């Protein structure tokens, strides 16, 4: 069978062709005059193939395809009802009629139109309605269409007015099928008016079969797209919709007063009075997850928006009036608790049920379902079940065996400590009442030792010692296997119950923690330059994708030293990257500016760099990339293939001393200008490593530069800058461009290699008032209470927000620092704001790459901008932690304080990472714990953040190794010794004391004398009493 | 014409009923493959451990109705393979990032395998509600498919369910097997270690990547990577395991060679549940290019049909045996194994380290048409937009037309590289781009 059909009308000019070849056919279709697209399909048999092919052919014929192209409508199978004649009207006539309808807003005309024209023209009409929707209904730019502009000041709007939109949508509902109308949100609005006679008529004429599916799809997708329940019922009564449990449940539970035409009280009455609603639909609310917990209303404007809860009242009413069985409600409420539903929804039902004051007799039939709740992950669910079980556990019909079966996983769960505590008392009672379950109960009690909580473990021990017998072999075996998990003195207290043959508990060896500020070698990985053009080409891609500073540095360097590798058609080859750079936006400032630079170079290597773009961040240190790029341009212009002084020789950003000296010598010999910024960064990036190879090269340098580099290499510690600067200052207006003043480079070197020392040499110079120049910047840091005030709109009174605590310190200067003494660039009195912060890790890495040997400036900036509050920092803190974790990081007062602050941060992922970093640093003994404790005490004392966050962070040190335990012990003792405990103790202080007791016993140490004194004073504290007894025993 | 989503309709619904103290679960099934669709019933029997089985089903249901990516969650029914004394359930989250499979070993079921095959089964809310209430020590029967036409009483009248399966979903099912085959066992955790590990699972709204690390005999989730830690992207997705961790006897952790994807296998003795996680919450298995490299060579269609007559569902696929019996070269066989996975004929059993046969309930043509990168690459070739500039041993350079730019593709000892955005963004970590693919197909 071979057929070639065409379809030519006002809007289309296309063909469709089918060729059948035994068990496969090929369909080709497309615009007339083209070869079209082909698809071949194979079948198991020739018959099956032919059958399908004929079916397809018939479909096409039905759609109006014909062999000569004239649009025909197949006479076959006319639709049964609908009075209209089988029409075969020219589509353009129909379209005109349709447009006329819309233009004249002829509502009454729609139904007659549909009756007359729809049949046989569905496809054409569908297409035109789609077009009309785009024209009349869509929100679009009307600036070219002044006739339709309605609102002043806005070019955007709808062409159609409300009636026209309604007409288009209704016609669509009448004509379209599910697939083509699926994306039309407007349909929902139109259906809301289903009770309007005009809408109803059209709906009844069309009887769209997709209505239910469409509505359900919407209802599942968005809560706000759940159609009013009353509308559903209306459609149902008129036979336009059949009952679908999920749809009805979602819409019923989705009632909200503000979006519904019905007031809250009316809705409630309606549900409570309508048997279909409360018998058929309300029970479905237990089967599907709805949002009924969010439905509030108010009776008048004076009330708060959430004055009354719609469903609380409905359930009260139904239960009171006996329209919903109490037993059913109880059963279902328990059953939904184990579902994966929104917790507030489940909590709504829980609360409701508790209000019912359920009696044991009502609960007993559902006890198995209650037991199932015990294995749920959510604490409120478990607690709810336990509370109810408490009510029935002494009843004769209580299924003890089953209850105990369900308990095991719960007994090991650290997230349900409260519930476990309650279970202890229940188990004690059950043990008395049912001696036959004795071993089962003690075995369950033993599982508690999996939970790392001293208080709970002690309670379990107390009970076990009371009820367990020493000759229960299974129990002793279990306890022995848990021995390693027992905290504090628990292990020794239980010894009579444990296996005696097992090795006597060996206290772990104590390994004292000592801070060893290690000098790690940093010149390890050499930077490899691109080998050929391909490497350079794909380096552009690497730069776009990576966070490593080196990729940018490498690219800039190729433009200076490897231009010869660029082929003639470099620009063409690089176009894909140009496009990507155009499209992308980089949050990292250096990447942003480097990409501007690269875009220009891709277009033309010879073009000088110009900068019109501006980034919105105003951090001076990060903006140094701008002058640096101009320096790069200058070097390119010089035509000399000399890398920048600060171009790294080793990953990630180090410059080897020997190489730096060679670069300086070449510059000097070739008369090349030395850029101040470049030299500043180069010095800052040069570690005093492998200096032996560099020192002999000093001889080839001359003048002040030689002295400066001798200082940097540690050959001499004499600072010998030319102090003619007083004169220079006077003459600064006429200062020549070639200023040989290296003073701030000297200051850079001094602060880089001697971070903690004072250099009186800079006193009396213009650097005197610059932080970090003469002496390390050590401001007085305070933590101050802050709050906001606002007016309560109901009471008209001023109210205070809860307080928070903010880190502050004074900054000496108002404006930018001296040229390129880069440590001081942002130690200025500038307001913190969204533009003046780091915001992501990349910016932190960039900053650090410019001054890796002294991160204090960065730390102070972070204290001001990122962790000045415990609920403020973001990704940049993670970046900082990464740096801190790297080799060769220098800890100082400021950097340690930042680390301490991070332990208090509200973002859990950041805190977790800080805890990990702590574990790592302790392992390498790279952290001064005394200093850290000091900072922590400072933050605790001034309520910087919640104490529990700190305990959680520090607690992660426990049980990693003897060294970590010793470190933890040291930090805790430092905190106890230095914290003013006479004042009110921080909330959750007990948690830390529990850790202390545990670690003391684990490491087999005696408390420090000073710490003992502290606890001696706290002896009468009710919460700590028992713990302190163990410390002071 | 773009591939459209597959839409199908069940003839009935799955039901769970309780009569005379016996609970019976009847799963309605449907497949696109006619011969399988006509099988009324695959299995009928009782569950030997109904509580654990129900918990696993609930976990599968949780997975198939969850979404962690930009795709809104909607229920995707799981797939069941019955045969060779085993029943396997497979499913995917709506975002295609979490794959779940329950392997029910012969000990877990006591009954009769009437037919072998793979099919979609209906998971509906009322049935899941009922599963939720299965107690320990109850008797539960299971039927995959049903022999008699279901009697619909007035009370339980339910409308027929229509389901659409997006192509991404089907594609994910095929590519995840290749990831599984690439995984190595990293850790084996006993009950206590499992509890301890999951006690360190960050609570609340913590997302992002974490590393499972063993420290001092204890397993923890850590934010920092170490040499032998296992990376888990989108950590919050592990919460899906909540319901079964407490009852698992052992937990095994696997990781793929590229350290991108990982899998957790919970062992219950009579059955095991596997959950595999894509590299990150916002990435699905479907987007990964793993399948591509196997698809450059076509699997002969007669093989697809041939296998179906050779093997039963869930039967171990032994390439060596097959190649000896049918005189096929071993090398071809290796390639064939991954090709067959890519077209949805093989699943991979991590614990047993072998492939098993099951024909996904979709037409092979559909699966073959799924890969847009492959399709786009073929289009590039058809339109003659691939131009090989240099071809020497160890070095190939080509120009491929992109949208208003020319992309350069280089293949040498430094790997395959391209200047397009896809390659730039992922630097080769997510399979090859269509340009490299096209060049590979040309040379």
- Measured CA to CA, the distance from residue A743 to residue A767 in angstroms comes to 8
> A162: number of CA atoms within 13 Å, CB side?
3
Helices (H), B38-139: 50-64, 125-132
Biggest alpha carbon–alpha carbon distance for chain A: 108
- Measured CA to CA, the distance from residue B84 to residue A488 in angstroms comes to 54
Buried b (16+ CB within 10 A) or exposed e, A298-308: eeeeeeeeeeb
Instruction: Choose the mutation target among B51, B98, B193, B222 for the interface with A, i.e. most A CBs under 10 Å.
Output: B222
* Nearest partner of B267 among B284, B253, B281, judged by Cα: B253
Burial class (CB in 10 A: 0-12, 13-18, 19+), A719: middle
Contact B427 A485 (CB under 8 A): no
Stretch among A596-600, A696-700, B233-237 having the lowest mean pLDDT? B233-237
> B340: number of CA atoms within 13 Å, CB side?
26
Residue A652's contacts (CB-CB under 8 Å, 6 or more residues apart) are A548, A549, A550, A849
- Measured CA to CA, the distance from residue A590 to residue A970 in angstroms comes to 42
In the 8-state DSSP scheme, what is residue A261?
A: S
* pLDDT the model gives residue A895: 95
Question: If residue A532 lies in a helix (H) or strand (E), which one and from where to where?
Answer: none
Residue A372 tokens, joined? 């199932």
Contact B158 A414 (CB under 8 A): no
* pLDDT the model gives residue B150: 40
The residue-averaged pLDDT of A851-873 equals 93
Nearest beta carbon to residue A916 from set B129, B223, B427: B223
- Measured CA to CA, the distance from residue A109 to residue A97 in angstroms comes to 10
Specify whether the CB–CB gap between A505 and A488 falls below 8 A. no
Number of Cβ within a 10 Å radius of residue A52? 14
- Measured CA to CA, the distance from residue B365 to residue A42 in angstroms comes to 9
Taking CA atoms, what residue in B is nearest to A544? Answer: B424
Provide the number of CB pairs (under 8 Å) joining chain A to chain B: 133
Q: What is the mean pLDDT of chain A?
A: 86
Nearest beta carbon to residue B216 from set A409, A538, A959: A959
Instruction: Choose the mutation target among A916, A924, A960, A1002 for the interface with B, i.e. most B CBs under 10 Å.
Output: A916
Torsion, Cα B402 B403 B404 B405, to 10 degrees, reads -30
Specify whether the CB–CB gap between B59 and B100 falls below 8 A. yes
Residue-wise pLDDT tens digits, B282-332: 887 865 555 565 555 555 555 656 666 667 777 787 777 666 666 666 666
Specify whether the CB–CB gap between B361 and B33 falls below 8 A. yes
- Does position B1 have pLDDT exceeding 60, yes or no? no
- Does position A740 have pLDDT exceeding 60, yes or no? no
Q: What is the mean pLDDT of chain B?
A: 79
Nearest beta carbon to residue A450 from set B72, B162, B192: B192
Cis peptide before A652 (omega within 30 of 0): yes
Q: Rg of chain B's alpha carbons, rounded to an integer?
A: 23
Residue A1002 tokens, joined? 């684990």
Residue-wise pLDDT tens digits, A695-705: 999 999 988 89
Helices (H), A64-161: 91-103, 107-117, 122-132
B344: phi > 0 → left, psi -120 to 50 → alpha, else beta; which? left
* pLDDT the model gives residue A86: 44
Question: If residue B400 lies in a helix (H) or strand (E), which one and from where to where?
Answer: strand B395-401
Question: If residue B417 lies in a helix (H) or strand (E), which one and from where to where?
Answer: strand B415-418
Which residues from B are below 8 Å from A580, CB to CB? 421, 424
* pLDDT the model gives residue A508: 63
Which residues from B are below 8 Å from A916, CB to CB? 222-224
Could you give the percent of chain B with pLDDT greater than 90?
17
The residue-averaged pLDDT of A424-449 equals 91
In the 8-state DSSP scheme, what is residue A224?
A: G
Residue B98's contacts (CB-CB under 8 Å, 6 or more residues apart) are B63, B66, B68, B92, B237, B240, B275, B276, B277, B278
Q: Tell me which residue has tokens 């097997």.
A: B177
Between residues A960 and A806, the one the model is more confident about = A806
Contact A409 B246 (CB under 8 A): yes
* pLDDT the model gives residue B305: 61
Residue-wise pLDDT tens digits, A242-266: 888 889 999 999 888 887 878 889 9
Residue A408's contacts (CB-CB under 8 Å, 6 or more residues apart) are A444, A447, B246
Please report which confidence band the pLDDT of residue A756 belongs to, taking 50, 70 and 90 as the band edges. very high
* pLDDT the model gives residue A468: 84
Can you point out the beta strands (E) in B179-306?
183-189, 210-215, 218-222, 230-232, 250-256, 262-267, 271-277
Taking CA atoms, what residue in A is nearest to B4? Answer: A179
Q: Could you give the C-alpha distances from B395 to A976, B410, B431, in angstroms and in order?
A: 67, 7, 20
Specify whether the CB–CB gap between B103 and B314 falls below 8 A. no
Could you give the percent of chain A with pLDDT greater than 90?
44
Axis crossing angle, helix B301-310 with helix B330-342, rounded to the nearest 10: 90
Stretch among A261-265, A443-447, A481-485 having the lowest mean pLDDT? A481-485
Residue-wise pLDDT tens digits, A151-167: 666 777 778 788 888 88
A582 at B interface, C-beta within 8 A: no
Residue B212 tokens, joined? 């499972």
Taking CA atoms, what residue in B is nearest to A409? Answer: B246
Stretch among A852-861, A888-897, A1011-1020, B333-342 having the lowest mean pLDDT? B333-342
Contact A244 B417 (CB under 8 A): no
Specify whether the CB–CB gap between A16 and A29 falls below 8 A. yes
* pLDDT the model gives residue A596: 94
HEC assignment per residue over A842-869: HHHHHHHHHCCCCCHHHHHHHHHHCCCC
The alpha-carbon gap from B171 to the nearest alpha carbon of chain A, in Å, equals 20
Per DSSP, the residues of A496-527 read: GGS-SSSPP-PPPPP--------------SBP
Specify whether the CB–CB gap between B255 and B249 falls below 8 A. no
Q: Could you give the C-alpha distances from A563 to A165, A377, A559, A571, A598, in angstroms and in order?
A: 62, 62, 5, 13, 14
Specify whether the CB–CB gap between B201 and B226 falls below 8 A. no
The vertex-A165 CA angle with A162 and A167, nearest 5°, equals 110
* pLDDT the model gives residue A1007: 92
- Measured CA to CA, the distance from residue B67 to residue B172 in angstroms comes to 14
Residue-wise pLDDT tens digits, A93-132: 888 888 888 888 887 888 888 888 777 777 888 888 888 8
- Measured CA to CA, the distance from residue B252 to residue B188 in angstroms comes to 5
Nearest beta carbon to residue A409 from set B72, B216, B247: B247
Please report which confidence band the pLDDT of residue A856 belongs to, taking 50, 70 and 90 as the band edges. very high
- Measured CA to CA, the distance from residue A779 to residue A447 in angstroms comes to 53
Nearest beta carbon to residue B406 from set A221, A375, A572: A572
* pLDDT the model gives residue A692: 94
Residue-wise pLDDT tens digits, A615-671: 788 899 999 999 999 999 999 999 889 999 999 999 999 999 999 999 999 999 998
- Does position B151 have pLDDT exceeding 50, yes or no? no
Residue A379's contacts (CB-CB under 8 Å, 6 or more residues apart) are A415, A416, A418, A419
Per DSSP, the residues of A371-382 read: HHHTT-S-HHHH
Contact A402 B136 (CB under 8 A): yes
- Measured CA to CA, the distance from residue B421 to residue A461 in angstroms comes to 63
In the 8-state DSSP scheme, what is residue B308?
A: H
- Measured CA to CA, the distance from residue A676 to residue A52 in angstroms comes to 80
The residue-averaged pLDDT of B239-259 equals 88
Contact B224 A409 (CB under 8 A): no
Burial class (CB in 10 A: 0-12, 13-18, 19+), A216: middle
- Does position A278 have pLDDT exceeding 90, yes or no? yes
Specify whether the CB–CB gap between A1019 and A979 falls below 8 A. no
Residue-wise pLDDT tens digits, A498-525: 876 555 555 567 778 888 887 788 999 9
Highest-scoring range by mean pLDDT, A443-447, A552-556, A580-584: A552-556
* pLDDT the model gives residue B327: 64
* pLDDT the model gives residue A83: 40
- Measured CA to CA, the distance from residue A847 to residue A267 in angstroms comes to 62
Residue A501's contacts (CB-CB under 8 Å, 6 or more residues apart) are none
> A138: number of CA atoms within 13 Å, CB side?
12
- Does position B388 have pLDDT exceeding 50, yes or no? yes
* Nearest partner of A903 among A938, A949, A869, judged by Cα: A949
Residue-wise pLDDT tens digits, A782-792: 999 999 888 87
In the 8-state DSSP scheme, what is residue A956?
A: T
Per DSSP, the residues of A625-680 read: HHHHHHHHHHHHHHT--PPPTT--SBTTTB--HHHHHHHHHHHHHHTPPPPHHHHH
Please report which confidence band the pLDDT of residue A150 belongs to, taking 50, 70 and 90 as the band edges. low
């Amino acid at each position: 069978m071979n057929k070639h059909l065409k379809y030519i009308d006002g809007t289309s000019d296309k063909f469709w062709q089918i060729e059948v070849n035994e068990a496969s056919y090929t369909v080709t279709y497309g615009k007339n005059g083209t070869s079209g697209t082909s698809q071949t399909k194979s079948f198991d048999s020739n018959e099956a193939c032919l059958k399908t092919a004929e079916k397809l052919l018939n479909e096409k014929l039905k759609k109006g395809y014909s062999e000569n192209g004239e649009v025909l409508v197949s006479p076959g199978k006319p639709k049964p009802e609908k009075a209209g004649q089988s029409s075969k009207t020219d589509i353009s006539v129909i379209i005109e009629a349709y447009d006329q309808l819309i233009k004249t807003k002829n509502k009454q005309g729609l139904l007659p139109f549909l009756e007359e024209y729809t049949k046989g023209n569905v496809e054409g009409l569908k297409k035109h309605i789609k077009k009309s929707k785009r024209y009349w209904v869509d929100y679009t730019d009307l600036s070219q269409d002044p006739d339709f502009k309605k609102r002043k000041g806005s070019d955007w709007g709808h062409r159609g007015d409300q009636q026209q939109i309604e007409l288009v949508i209704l016609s669509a509902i009448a004509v379209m099928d599910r697939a083509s109308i699926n994306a039309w949100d407007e349909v929902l609005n139109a259906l809301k008016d289903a009770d309007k006679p005009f809408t109803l008529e059209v709906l009844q004429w069309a009887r769209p079969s997709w209505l239910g599916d469409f509505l359900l799809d919407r209802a599942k997708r968005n809560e706000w797209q759940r159609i009013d329940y009353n509308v559903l019922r209306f459609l149902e009564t008129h036979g336009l919709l059949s009952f679908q449990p999920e749809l009805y449940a979602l819409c019923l539970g989705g009632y909200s007063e503000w979006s519904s035409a019905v007031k809250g009280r009316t809705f409630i009455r309606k549900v409570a009075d309508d048997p279909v609603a409360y018998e058929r639909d309300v029970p479905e609310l237990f089967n599907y997850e709805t949002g009924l917990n969010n439905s509030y209303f108010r009776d008048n404007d004076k009330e708060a928006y959430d004055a009354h809860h719609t469903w609380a009242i409905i359930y009260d009413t139904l239960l009171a009036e006996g329209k919903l069985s109490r037993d059913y409600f109880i059963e279902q409420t328990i059953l939904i608790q184990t579902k994966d539903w929104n917790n507030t929804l489940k909590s709504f039902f829980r609360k409701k049920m508790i209000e019912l004051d359920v009696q044991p007799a009502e609960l007993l039939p559902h006890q198995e379902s209650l037991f199932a709740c015990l294995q749920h992950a959510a604490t409120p669910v478990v607690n709810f079940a336990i509370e109810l079980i408490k009510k029935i556990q002494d009843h004769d019909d209580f299924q003890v065996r089953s209850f105990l079966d369900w308990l095991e996983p719960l007994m090991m769960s650290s997230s349900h400590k409260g519930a476990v505590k309650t279970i202890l008392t229940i188990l004690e009672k059950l043990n008395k009442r049912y001696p036959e379950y004795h071993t089962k109960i003690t075995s369950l009690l033993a599982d508690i030792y999996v939970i790392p909580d001293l208080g709970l473990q002690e309670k379990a021990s107390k009970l076990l010692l009371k009820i367990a017998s020493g000759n229960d072999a299974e129990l002793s075996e279990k306890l022995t296997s848990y021995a390693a998990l027992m905290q504090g003195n628990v292990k020794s207290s239980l010894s009579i119950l444990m296996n005696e043959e097992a090795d006597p508990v060996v206290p772990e060896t104590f390994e004292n923690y000592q801070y060893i500020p290690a000098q790690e070698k940093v010149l390890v990985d050499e930077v490899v330059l691109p080998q050929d053009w391909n490497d350079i080409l794909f380096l552009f891609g690497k730069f776009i994708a990576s966070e490593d500073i080196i990729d940018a540095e490498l690219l800039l360097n190729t433009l200076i030293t490897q231009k010869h590798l660029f082929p003639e058609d470099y620009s063409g080859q690089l176009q894909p990257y140009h496009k990507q750079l155009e499209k992308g936006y980089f949050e990292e400032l250096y990447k942003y500016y480097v990409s501007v630079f690269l875009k220009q170079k891709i277009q033309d290597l010879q073009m000088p760099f110009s900068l019109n773009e501006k980034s919105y961040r105003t951090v001076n240190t990060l903006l140094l990339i701008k002058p640096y790029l101009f320096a790069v341009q200058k070097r390119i212009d010089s035509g000399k293939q000399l890398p920048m002084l600060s171009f790294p020789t080793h990953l990630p950003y180090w410059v080897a001393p020997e190489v730096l000296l060679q670069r300086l010598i070449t510059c000097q010999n070739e008369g090349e200008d030395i850029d101040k910024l470049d030299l500043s960064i180069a010095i800052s990036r040069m570690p005093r490593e492998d200096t032996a190879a560099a020192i002999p090269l000093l001889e080839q340098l001359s003048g002040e530069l030689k002295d400066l580099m001798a200082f940097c290499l540690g050959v001499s510690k004499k600072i010998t800058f030319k102090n003619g600067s007083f004169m220079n200052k006077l003459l600064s207006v006429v200062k020549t461009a070639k200023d040989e003043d290296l003073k701030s480079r000297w200051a850079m070197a001094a602060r880089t290699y001697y971070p903690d020392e004072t250099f009186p040499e800079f006193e009396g110079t213009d650097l005197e008032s610059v932080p970090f120049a003469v002496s390390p910047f050590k401001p007085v840091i305070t933590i101050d209470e802050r709050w906001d005030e606002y007016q309560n709109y109901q009471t008209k009174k001023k109210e205070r927000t809860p307080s928070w605590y903010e880190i502050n310190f004074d900054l000496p200067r108002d404006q930018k620092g001296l040229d390129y003494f880069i440590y001081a660039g942002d130690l200025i009195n500038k307001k913190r704001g969204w533009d003046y912060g780091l915001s992501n890790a990349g910016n932190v890495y960039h900053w650090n790459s410019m001054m890796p040997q002294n991160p204090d400036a960065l730390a102070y900036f972070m204290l001001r901008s990122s962790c000045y509050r415990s609920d403020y920092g973001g990704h940049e803190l993670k970046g900082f932690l990464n740096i801190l974790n790297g080799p060769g990081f220098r800890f100082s007062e400021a950097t340690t304080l930042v680390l301490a602050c991070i332990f208090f941060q509200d973002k859990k992922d950041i805190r977790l990472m800080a805890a990990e970093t702590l574990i790592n640093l302790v392992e390498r003994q790279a952290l001064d714990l005394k200093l850290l404790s000091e900072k922590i005490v400072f933050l605790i004392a001034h309520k910087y953040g919640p104490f529990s966050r700190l305990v959680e962070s520090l607690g992660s040190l426990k049980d990693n190794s003897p060294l970590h335990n010793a470190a933890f012990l040291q930090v805790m003792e430092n905190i106890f010794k230095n914290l003013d405990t006479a004042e009110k103790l921080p909330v959750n202080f007990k948690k830390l004391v529990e850790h202390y007791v545990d670690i003391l016993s684990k490491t087999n140490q005696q408390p420090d004398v000073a710490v003992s004194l502290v606890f001696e004073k706290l002896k009468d504290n009710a919460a700590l009493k028992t713990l302190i007894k163990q410390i002071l025993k | 014409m773009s591939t459209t989503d597959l839409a199908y309709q069940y003839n009935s619904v799955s039901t769970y009923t309780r009569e005379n103290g016996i609970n019976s679960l009847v799963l309605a099934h449907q497949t696109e493959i006619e011969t399988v669709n006509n099988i009324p019933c695959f299995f009928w029997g009782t569950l030997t451990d109904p509580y654990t089985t129900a918990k696993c089903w609930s976990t599968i249901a949780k997975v198939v109705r969850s979404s962690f990516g930009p795709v809104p969650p909607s229920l995707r029914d799981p797939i069941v393979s019955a045969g060779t004394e085993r029943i396997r359930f497979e499913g995917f989250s709506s975002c295609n990032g979490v794959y779940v499979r329950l392997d029910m070993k012969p000990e877990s079921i006591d009954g009769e395998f009437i037919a072998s095959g793979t099919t979609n089964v209906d998971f509906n809310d009322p049935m899941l509600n009922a599963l939720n209430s299965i107690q320990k020590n109850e008797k539960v029967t299971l039927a995959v498919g049903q022999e008699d036409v279901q009697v619909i009483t007035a009370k339980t009248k339910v409308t027929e369910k229509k389901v659409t399966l997006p192509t991404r979903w089907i594609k994910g099912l095929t590519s995840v097997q290749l990831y599984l085959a690439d995984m190595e066992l990293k850790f084996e955790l006993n009950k206590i270690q499992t509890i301890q590990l999951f006690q360190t699972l960050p609570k609340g709204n913590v997302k992002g990547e974490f590393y499972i690390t063993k420290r001092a005999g204890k397993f923890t989730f850590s934010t920092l990577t170490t040499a032998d830690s296992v990376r888990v992207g989108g950590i919050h997705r592990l919460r899906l395991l909540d319901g079964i961790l407490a009852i698992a006897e052992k937990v095994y952790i696997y990781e793929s060679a590229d350290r991108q994807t990982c899998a957790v296998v919970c062992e219950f003795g009579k059955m095991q549940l596997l959950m595999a996680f894509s590299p990150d919450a916002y990435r699905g298995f479907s987007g990964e290019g793993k399948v591509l490299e196997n698809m450059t060579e076509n699997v002969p269609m007669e093989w697809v049909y041939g296998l179906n007559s050779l093997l039963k569902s869930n039967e171990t696929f032994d390439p060596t045996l097959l190649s000896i019996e049918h005189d096929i070269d071993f090398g071809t066989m290796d390639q064939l194994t991954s090709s067959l996975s890519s077209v949805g004929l093989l699943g991979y059993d991590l614990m047993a380290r072998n492939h098993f046969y099951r024909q996904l309930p979709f037409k092979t043509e559909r699966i073959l048409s799924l890969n847009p990168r492959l399709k786009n690459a073929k289009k590039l070739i058809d339109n003659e937009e691939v131009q090989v500039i240099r071809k020497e041993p160890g070095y190939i350079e080509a120009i491929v037309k992109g949208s208003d730019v020319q992309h350069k593709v280089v293949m040498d000892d430094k790997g395959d590289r391209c200047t397009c955005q896809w390659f730039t963004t992922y630097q080769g970590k997510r399979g090859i781009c269509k340009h490299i693919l096209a060049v590979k197909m040309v040379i």
